[in-house]
Structure 1
Amino acid sequence: MKAYELLFFVDPSSTDEVRAGVMKRIDVAISDNGGKVDNVEDWGRRKLAYEIDHLNEGDYTLIDFHADANQIAELDRVLRINDAVKRHMIVRRPDKD
């Protein structure tokens, strides 16, 4: 398994239930086929460089995890169809393999 990092943000006016639902769905997508979440960092509310979907701020979360390459495609699909996640980025981390 390779090391990856996922950074995403949701609308800062979202409820705690919505944020928990997003985190649960991400955890399920990673761990379904043997992946493992290593670390979750809540970065909190940050100002965006430019307006996205009429938002000037976002509530950011960074997740470090290990997974196989085929799980990354499924995780990306899950994040794209989730309306609460405004933007996301998955990056491979060869320094943490």
Structure 2
Amino acid sequence: MPLYEHVMIARQDLSNTQAEGLIEHFGTVLADNGGKLVDSEYWGVKTMAYKINKNRKGHYAFLRSDAPAPAVQEMERLMRLHEDVMRVLTIKMDEHAELPSVQMQKREERGERRERR
């Protein structure tokens, strides 16, 4: 099955447990449609570059899934209809990285940046 990565932004007035509940809810949507949630990370409340629906901040979540395309389409459809979800981004990947995402790594653990020209 194809591999996907999803980033979701939820409203800032949700509690942390409600935001993590959204992750579990959409994981079950994938499971009901023949896919599975490989890994998920809750990144916390972050400030956005611009306002979305009159919100300056949002709960960010990162999901890795192994699911057929119809399951991902159904999950995206339900995310867009859900009133607490503001934005969704889905990317099809060739393989999942084993390390935690860059957002979850400390600065010391990240690789060195290359010089700008």
Quickly say closer, same or farther: Cα 1:52–1:31, change in 2 above 3 A.
same
Q: How many residues align?
A: 96
In structure 2, runs of 5+ residues without a counterpart are 97-117
User: C-alpha distance in 2, partners of 1:62/1:44?
Assistant: 10
Q: Is the 8 A contact 2:19 2:59 kept in 1?
A: no
1:71 is the counterpart of 2:71: yes
Question: Superposition pairs for residues 35-74 of structure 1, below 5 Å?
Answer: 35-74=35-74
Secondary structure at the residue paired with 1:71? helix
Structural RMSD (CA):
1.5
Q: Higher helix proportion, which one?
A: 1
> Identity of paired residues, percent?
25
Q: Is the 8 A contact 1:6 1:62 kept in 2?
A: yes
Larger radius of gyration: 2
Measure how far apart 1:37 and its partner are.
Answer: 1.0
Secondary structure at the residue paired with 2:88? strand
1:34 is the counterpart of 2:37: no
RCO greater where, 1 or 2, for CA within 8 Å and sep 6 or more?
A: 1
Question: Superposition pairs for residues 17-28 of structure 1, below 5 Å?
Answer: 18-28=18-28
Quickly say closer, same or farther: Cα 1:21–1:42, change in 2 above 3 A.
closer
Q: Higher strand proportion, which one?
A: 1
Q: Is the 8 A contact 2:23 2:61 kept in 1?
A: no
Question: Superposition pairs for residues 77-96 of structure 1, below 5 Å?
Answer: 77-96=77-96
In structure 1, runs of 5+ residues without a counterpart are none
